[in-house]
Structure 1
Amino acid sequence: MSDRQTLPLEGIRILDLTSVIMGPVCTQILAGYGADVIKVEPPEGDIMRHAGAKQEPGMGAMFLHSNRGKRSIVVDLKVQQGQATIRELLQGADVFVHNIRPAAIERIGLDQASVRALCPNIIYAELTGYGITGPYAGRPAFDDVIQAESGLASLFSLQSGGAPAYLPALIADRLTGVTAAHRVLAALVHRERTGEGGYLNVAMFETMAEFVLSDHFGKRTFDLTSGDIGYSRLLTPYRRPYKTADGHIAVIVYNDKHWKSFFDVIGDPETFALDSRFQTAAARADSYDHIYRVVEEVLAKETTAHWLQTLTAAEIPCAPVNSVEHLLDDEHLRSTGFLQKHERDGRVEWAASALPGIRAAVSPRKGEHTQDYVKASRESGLASTT
């Protein structure tokens, strides 16, 4: 069966005025489902074109991994002709996505009211740092700032007692991008059913605040003004890769069966039978520091290979602590086709694709498709007025 028969967004056109990571992640997901995504770049190009390793100028790895399957056009939004070009392209678009700050998008006449007056059935998706009605509206936002402001960075302190830290991944950008993609998909379903376009705002701060609070609301779930914050299982300092005799291992001894099996394989069934802290989920929930410290002390006595073999046989979830490089040779990822090979002008590029059946493609060079889309749009506009 061909891609054309299987991709669910075939025939949907998305005008993409996003840059950096958050917005491009959203529109790359939609492009993977078959949408025709027109990436609008300024004359200097998306700043992420210069980030990460590269084989040619303006095609950095960070850009490639957020812009696959799109078409790139160059439009100068600072001039009236550029703004007019976007209005022409909007006529053939189903979705308009941008992550431009509210004051700037209004200044160039592409705010929600202006665009939806021009195209009532369009889905207008606005990705911002903060919700547009609160006191933070309009502030600039970057992943590091949102990790700190959402409480995520502080969780490292709560767990370890050390300094706050950033997760060494662009979690706020990428999670917000994924959230925006499924909001756009829901809006497309709604339009299919009702014929109505719509407006949606997806904000980094609110997205990450929900992400953190969903795990750590704690007693404030029942009384917003008092009570402990946090989920103790995630915050115990003993929840970490465990040291073995020759390295580290990830182990999660979780349910009743796991705990009984754990004490059986280490030759200490009496402890499970006599210590009530291990026997039920309710008891364990009050004793995470103790029970995970016991696991840590036991695992330190044998090698990683020993524990992987022993715990796997006992059906206790465990895994080696891989380096990022290891993923490139991981037998499971290779066997499922997760790592995808693309060629551009005789040179190879590798990409990761977690979802089989989603279109994989190369990323566009800056302005590679300007003539295709801008010329066609202008010719269509001229034809409609004659």
Structure 2
Amino acid sequence: MTQPVTSTAPLAGVRVVSIAINLPGPAAAARLTALGAEVTTVLPPTGDPMEHYAQPYFDEMHVGQTIERVDLKSEDGRGRLDTLLAETDIFLTSSRPSALKRLGLDPTSVSGRHTQVCQIDIVGHPGEAAEIAGHDLTYQAGAGLVRGGQMPATTIIDLAGAERAVADACAALVERARTGRGCHREVPLSDLADTFARPVVHGLTVPGGLLGGGLPVYAVYAASQGHVALAALEPHFTTRLLEVLGISPEDFSRERLEETFAERPADEWQKWAEEHDIPLVAVADPA
């Protein structure tokens, strides 16, 4: 949910121009808007693919922004973008470097014309590998986050990339305040996938791992209706869980918890957990 922007918002007065389409860029622009920035999203004449396959989501991410449709392949279009960049603090992109270069929008060209601009380029892979094609699914798959041939539940790398882009944008503003010039930051989505895969690499979330079902107090259980997610990881939560369930440490087991949670519906268990300060919720049905 987008929050109202006030003059005391952290990025009040910061001007952003985004030519980033699909998901990471718009999600980053939405976050910058929520932080108080004045965001202008520049779309191609054909629009953003998100408009066609997820219009409500597209609308949600562009609340509070100015949207302009500009043909950057035309001289007039590039001139309009340059007019915007002349008064811009943050320039957000999500195109391959070769495409930006053809349009005269690579960091070297932009900084040569607009020294104040902090350019944030969301790319698939870092450095010279930035030309390699990819999307959230391929980044997750390459990092070992796609299991059992199942599609991911959400586009976590795209959304994490958006948050990283916002963090780098804020860092770039700090650097500009120190140096007096804009700067360039690259946000490789494949690096985000590697970061998110670290719990897997270190065995935390693999099947049977500490956070992958190995602990009875950190697991999903079937209720009489639905399922519950229990995360009583810390010792004091485990102790309270057993006390309020009336289970002695000697009688504690995964099987005992399975039997107990199967006695009541998931929504009742959630109310019970809230009353007893236990980290447990009913598993929400997929939207």
Q: Report how far residue 240 of structure 1 moved.
A: 4.4
Helix, strand or coil at the partner of 1:5? coil
Which deviates further from its counterpart, 244-253 or 91-100? Answer: 244-253
Measure, in 2, the Cα distance between the counterparts of 1:100 and 1:320.
40
**2:127 paired with 1:137:** no
Task: State how 1:331-350 maps to structure 2 within 5 Å.
Answer: none
> Counterpart of 2:209?
232
Measure, in 2, the Cα distance between the counterparts of 1:258 and 1:152.
29
Q: Report how far residue 292 of structure 1 moved.
A: 4.4
| TM-score, structure 2 normalization | 0.87
Alpha carbons 1:21, 1:174 under 8 Å: kept: yes
- The number of equivalent residue pairs is 282
Deviations 1:240-295 (A, max 9, x none): 431122332222222222323333333332516xxxxx7xxxxxxxxxxxx54553
**2:262 paired with 1:300:** yes
> Counterpart of 1:243?
222
Q: Report how far residue 298 of structure 1 moved.
A: 3.2
Q: Report how far residue 303 of structure 1 moved.
A: 4.0
**Unpaired segments ≥5 residues, structure 1:** 53-59, 155-162, 220-228, 273-277, 279-290, 326-386
> Which structure is higher in RCO with an 8 Å CA cutoff and minimum separation 6?
1
Letter paired with 1:217 = V
Q: Report how far residue 113 of structure 1 moved.
A: 0.8
Letter paired with 2:173 = L
Measure, in 2, the Cα distance between the counterparts of 1:43 and 1:114.
24
Deviations 1:22-68 (A, max 9, x none): 1011111112222221111111111211123xxxxxxx112112222
Helix, strand or coil at the partner of 2:177? helix
Alpha carbons 1:15, 1:90 under 8 Å: kept: yes
Q: Report how far residue 200 of structure 1 moved.
A: 0.1
Q: Report how far residue 305 of structure 1 moved.
A: 5.5
> Counterpart of 2:176?
191
Measure, in 1, the Cα distance between the counterparts of 2:77 and 2:249.
76
Q: Report how far residue 307 of structure 1 moved.
A: 3.5
> Counterpart of 2:146?
153
Deviations 1:311-358 (A, max 9, x none): 444432222223366xxxxxxxxxxxxxxxxxxxxxxxxxxxxxxxxx
> Counterpart of 2:201?
217
> Counterpart of 2:282?
320
Q: Which has the larger radius of gyration?
A: 1
Alpha carbons 2:165, 2:187 under 8 Å: kept: yes
> Counterpart of 1:110?
105
Measure, in 2, the Cα distance between the counterparts of 1:7 and 1:260.
42
Which deviates further from its counterpart, 72-81 or 91-100? Answer: 72-81
> Counterpart of 1:5?
7
The runs of 4+ residues in structure 1 deviating greater than 6 Å are none
**2:66 paired with 1:71:** yes
**Share of identical aligned residues, percent?**
26
Measure, in 1, the Cα distance between the counterparts of 2:169 and 2:34.
14
> Counterpart of 1:342?
none
| TM-score, structure 1 normalization | 0.66
Alpha carbons 1:216, 1:231 under 8 Å: kept: no
**Unpaired segments ≥5 residues, structure 2:** none
**2:146 paired with 1:167:** no
Q: Report how far residue 300 of structure 1 moved.
A: 2.2
Change (3 A) 1:68 1:141: farther
Helix, strand or coil at the partner of 1:124? strand
Measure, in 1, the Cα distance between the counterparts of 2:249 and 2:15.
65
Change (3 A) 1:194 1:293: farther
Measure, in 1, the Cα distance between the counterparts of 2:91 and 2:36.
16
What is the aligned counterpart of 1:101 among 96, 109, 112?
96
Letter paired with 1:259 = T
> Counterpart of 1:384?
none
Helix, strand or coil at the partner of 1:6? coil
Which deviates further from its counterpart, 165-174 or 114-123? Answer: 165-174
Which deviates further from its counterpart, 299-308 or 95-104? Answer: 299-308
Change (3 A) 1:241 1:76: same
Task: State how 1:246-325 maps to structure 2 within 5 Å.
Answer: 246-271=225-250, 292=254, 294-304=256-266, 307-308=269-270, 310-323=272-285
Q: Report how far residue 111 of structure 1 moved.
A: 0.6
> Counterpart of 2:49?
47
What is the CA RMSD across the aligned residues, in angstroms? Answer: 2.7
